[in-house]
């Protein structure tokens, strides 16, 4: 496992285990470029997130990501822009994630979003619909009803229904289509 110790600009990195950077001879170059613009990552993250703790986390993650992928940087002269882009995108991701989390928590805390328990009227309508559905399914021709029951209600795949009934998969598809079409007509 690689370890990276992030330090203030101007200080040297004391502990960095061997990795791709040391093998490729670019370790010193990364350290020099990081010394020039390392604190920039925190400022960018702070500007996007407006929270020092989250900005520190994002800055650390961005520097670690830059360290791990420095060997893939095509133009080392563009290190500053590359680091800014990494940091900005990571900060935006963190911000969006926090907003989505906050929205989910807010939505579920509102009484309007909580599902209401079913009323007696809802249960009666449900029972009435269930009776109509069973009646409509019973009126279907047997070859259509069987395919519908096996695939839609029992949850078998088309291939499994095909194997059970010893008919081609295309026939299963067409019977299922016509069964649904007839059932929809009967329920209107």
Higher per-residue pLDDT: 115 or 123: 123
* More confident call, 137 vs 114: 137
Mean pLDDT of 143-156: 88
Q: How many CB atoms lie within 10 A of CB 99?
A: 10
Which domains, and CATH codes, for the chain? Answer: 19-106 (1.10.1740.10), 118-188 (1.10.10.10)
Q: What is the mean pLDDT of residues 34-49?
A: 86
Cβ atoms of 64 and 53 closer than 8 Å: no
**Closest to 16 measured CA to CA, from 26, 2, 29:** 2
Residue 5 pLDDT: 55
Q: Are 63 and 69 in contact (CB under 8 A)?
A: no
Torsion of CA 145, 147, 152, 157, to 10 degrees: 170
* pLDDT band, residue 10 (cuts 50/70/90): low
Per-residue confidence (pLDDT) for residue 110, from 0 to 100:
66
Assigned token pair, 177: 């289509």
| Residue 16: closest CA among 1, 38, 37 | 1
Task: Give the mean model confidence (pLDDT) for residues 100-122.
Answer: 74
Q: How far apart are CA 188 and CA 184, in angstroms?
A: 6
User: pLDDT tens for residues 65-101?
Assistant: 998 988 888 887 888 899 999 999 999 999 999 888 8
Average model confidence (pLDDT) across the chain: 82
Cβ–Cβ < 8 Å for 167, 178: no
pLDDT of residue 179: 93
Rg for the chain (alpha carbons), in Å? 31
Q: What is the pTM of this model?
A: 0.46
pLDDT of residue 154 exceeding 90: no
Does residue 2 have a pLDDT over 50?
A: no
Helix 27-37 to helix 52-69 angle (10° resolution) is 150
pLDDT at 168 over 50: yes
Q: Which residues have a Cβ under 8 Å from the Cβ of 7 and sit 6 or more positions away?
A: 13, 14, 38
């Amino acid at each position: 496992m690689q370890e990276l110790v992030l330090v203030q600009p101007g200080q040297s990195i004391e502990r960095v285990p061997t990795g791709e950077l040391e093998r490729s001879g670019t370790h010193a170059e990364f350290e020099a470029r990081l010394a020039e613009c390392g604190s920039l990552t925190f400022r960018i993250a702070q500007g996007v997130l407006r929270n020092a703790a989250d900005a520190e986390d994002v800055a650390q993650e961005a520097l670690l990501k830059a360290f791990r992928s420095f060997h893939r940087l095509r133009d080392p002269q563009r290190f500053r822009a590359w680091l800014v882009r990494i940091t900005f995108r990571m900060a935006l991701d963190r911000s969006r994630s926090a907003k989505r989390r906050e929205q989910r928590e807010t939505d579920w805390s509102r009484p309007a979003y909580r599902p209401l328990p079913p009323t007696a009227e809802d249960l009666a309508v449900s029972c009435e619909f269930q009776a109509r559905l069973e009646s409509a399914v019973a009126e279907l021709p047997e070859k259509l009803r069987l395919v519908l029951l096996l695939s839609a209600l029992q949850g078998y795949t088309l291939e499994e229904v095909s194997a059970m009934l010893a008919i081609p998969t295309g026939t299963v598809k067409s019977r299922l289509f016509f069964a649904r079409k007839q059932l929809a007509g009967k329920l209107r």
